[in-house]
């Protein structure tokens, strides 16, 4: 009997997916239930751009997976369509600052978008800035620059100042900013002047509850999967897990995607709570590692020093009644300063360092306890909650980019 070809059965149509793309996290759905208010507010803030005036600067914030990126992309796509259709002098540009993390990178990318036929590599910051004001002035154009994950911009105060100042130099036309962040303490860290320019209008994206996530998943599942494949129990469980963790729609969407892949691999044409349960671990891990790779660089350096000390068993000691893998915050700070220097970053003060530790704890990446009396005054004991080797690999890959 001839052996079965390795590709047998793979070229055929999926029994599970109708359109797999639509249940992937980067797909922007047409409808975004439970975000009507935020979308309307964005539209109102942007409407001045339609008449060549400056739109309000908007600051969007909320925890991960609450629809900030999806709503922004949706509104900007609608705006773009309207601008094209009516031949208006307005332009929307979306950037993720994870990839463009400095004033220079942001402005040169914006200007490149304005002059697609020219090449701006290697030009000075001031030349790029002039090109931006020149473009808006000549075309009497209102530009809207959406900066997603804006907390990643290293010289954000300078960037926001430059964009604000551009409005004084552009005679007709304007520049406005949509800033997006999921870092809860980020706004407090800004220079007061940056804060007041950036936050002319603020939009909060609260976490979704289980009921809302169920509705969101039902709609997305209908687009992505064949009829009758996804059982209600699967949707209920995925929504419940995501609501319990953080009200994050990305987790919910990924659980269903992964559950679909598991069903497909196992040759089943049904997705039940069993497949969702199986998907849970891999999704949770993936989400944590994605989160780690998008932390601000300084926090990554702090986390990397903890991972390294844990792996090298340096400074780790077994205290009475304590588990293994415990570090002193002072030792971490020393290691952090060394690592920061090796990446040519200047280390933050101890106060910020403590704040970073607090945030890393809030994200569930580590746990801390006060050392109690007798042990070096008020030092803290810190323990990593994740596999240190995986953390090190993820971070080194990110930091060496």
Q: Which residues contact residue 132 at a Cβ distance below 8 angstroms, ignoring those fewer than 6 apart?
A: 107, 110, 111, 114, 143, 166, 175
The 58-62 sheet, strands edge to edge: 90-96, 142-148, 174-181, 58-62, 201-205
Number of residues that bind ligand ATP (CB under 6 A): 22
Binding segment (CB under 5 A) for Mg ion, from list 62-70, 183-191, 228-236, 347-355: 62-70
Can residue 65 be called a binding residue for ligand ATP (CB under 6 A)? Answer: yes
125 interface partner picked from Mg ion, ligand ATP, none, CB below 5 to 8 A per type: none
- 3-state DSSP call for residue 18? coil
| Cross-strand partners of 179 | 59, 147
Residues 64, 78: Cα–Cα separation, whole Å:
23
Which of these, 299, 257, 264, lies nearest to 280 by C-alpha position? 257
Can residue 296 be called a binding residue for ligand ATP (CB under 6 A)? Answer: no
Pattern of binders to ligand ATP over 200-219, x per CB under 6 A? -----x----------x---
Residues 246, 370: Cα–Cα separation, whole Å:
27
Pattern of binders to ligand ATP over 219-258, x per CB under 6 A? -x----------------------------xx--x-----
Q: Which listed residue (57, 66, 69, 176) binds Mg ion by CB under 5 A?
A: 69
Q: Which listed residue (25, 125, 315, 330) binds ligand ATP by CB under 6 A?
A: 25
Binding segment (CB under 6 A) for ligand ATP, from list 9-17, 28-36, 156-164, 233-241: 28-36
CB of 397 to Mg ion, least distance (A): 21
* DSSP-derived secondary structure letter, 78: H
32 interface partner picked from ligand ATP, Mg ion, none, CB below 5 to 8 A per type: ligand ATP
Q: Which helix (H) or strand (E) holds 221?
A: helix 210-224
- Within 138-197, the residues that bind ligand ATP by CB under 6 A are 182
In terms of CB distance, is 22 or 250 closer to Mg ion? 250
- Phi, psi torsion values for 371, nearest 5 degrees: -75, -15
CB of 27 to ligand ATP, least distance (A): 6
Helices marked H in 96-124: 103-114
Residues 252, 86: Cα–Cα separation, whole Å:
38
In terms of CB distance, is 161 or 289 closer to Mg ion? 289
- Neighbouring C-alpha atoms within 13 Å toward the C-beta of 187: 19
Output 244-247 pairs: Cβ under 8 A, ≥24 positions apart: 244/210, 245/284, 246/63, 246/64, 246/65, 246/207, 247/63, 247/65, 247/66, 247/206, 247/207, 247/208, 247/209, 247/213
CB of 300 to ligand ATP, least distance (A): 16
Can residue 38 be called a binding residue for Mg ion (CB under 5 A)? Answer: no
Q: Which listed residue (20, 29, 88, 123) binds ligand ATP by CB under 6 A?
A: 29
CB of 196 to ligand ATP, least distance (A): 23
Residues 401, 387: Cα–Cα separation, whole Å:
22
Residues interacting with ligand ATP, by CB under 6 A? 25, 28-29, 32-35, 62, 64-70, 182, 205, 216, 220, 249-250, 253
Residues interacting with Mg ion, by CB under 5 A? 69
């Amino acid at each position: 009997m001839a052996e079965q070809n390795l590709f047998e059965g793979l070229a055929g149509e999926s029994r599970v997916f109708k359109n797999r793309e639509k249940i992937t996290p980067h797909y922007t759905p047409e409808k975004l239930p439970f975000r009507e208010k935020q979308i309307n507010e964005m539209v109102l803030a942007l409407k001045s751009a339609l008449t060549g005036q400056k739109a309000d600067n908007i600051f969007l914030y909320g925890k991960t997976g609450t629809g900030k990126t999806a709503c922004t992309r949706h509104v900007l796509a609608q705006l773009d369509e309207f601008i094209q259709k009516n031949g208006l002098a307005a332009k929307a540009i979306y950037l993720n600052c994870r990839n463009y993390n400095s004033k220079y990178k942001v402005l040169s990318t914006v200007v490149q978008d304005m002059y697609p036929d020219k090449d701006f590599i290697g030009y000075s910051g001031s030349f790029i800035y002039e090109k931006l004001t020149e473009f808006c002035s000549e075309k009497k154009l209102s530009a809207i620059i959406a900066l997603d994950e804006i907390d990643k911009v290293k010289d954000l105060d300078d960037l926001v100042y430059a964009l604000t100042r551009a409005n004084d130099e552009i005679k007709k036309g304007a520049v406005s900013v949509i800033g997006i962040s999921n870092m809860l303490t980020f706004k407090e860290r800004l220079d007061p002047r940056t804060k007041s320019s950036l936050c002319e209008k603020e939009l909060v994206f609260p976490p979704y509850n289980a009921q809302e996530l169920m509705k969101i998943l039902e709609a997305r599942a209908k687009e992505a999967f064949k009829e009758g494949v996804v059982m209600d129990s699967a949707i209920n469980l995925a929504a419940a897990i995501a609501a319990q963790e953080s009200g994050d729609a990305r987790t919910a969407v990924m659980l269903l995607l992964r559950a679909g892949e598991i069903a497909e691999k196992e040759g089943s044409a049904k997705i039940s709570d069993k497949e969702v349960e199986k998907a849970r671990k891999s999704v949770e891990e993936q989400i944590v590692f994605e989160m780690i790779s998008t932390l601000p660089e300084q926090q990554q350096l702090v986390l990397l020093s903890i991972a390294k000390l844990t792996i090298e068993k340096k400074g780790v000691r077994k205290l009475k009644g304590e588990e293994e893998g415990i570090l002193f915050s002072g030792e971490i700070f020393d290691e952090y300063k060394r690592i920061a220097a090796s990446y040519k970053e200047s280390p933050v003060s101890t106060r910020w360092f403590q704040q970073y530790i607090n945030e890393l704890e809030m994200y569930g990446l580590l746990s801390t306890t006060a050392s109690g009396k007798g042990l070096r005054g008020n030092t803290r004991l810190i323990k990593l909650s994740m596999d240190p080797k995986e953390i090190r690999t993820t971070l080194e890959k990110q930091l060496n980019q």
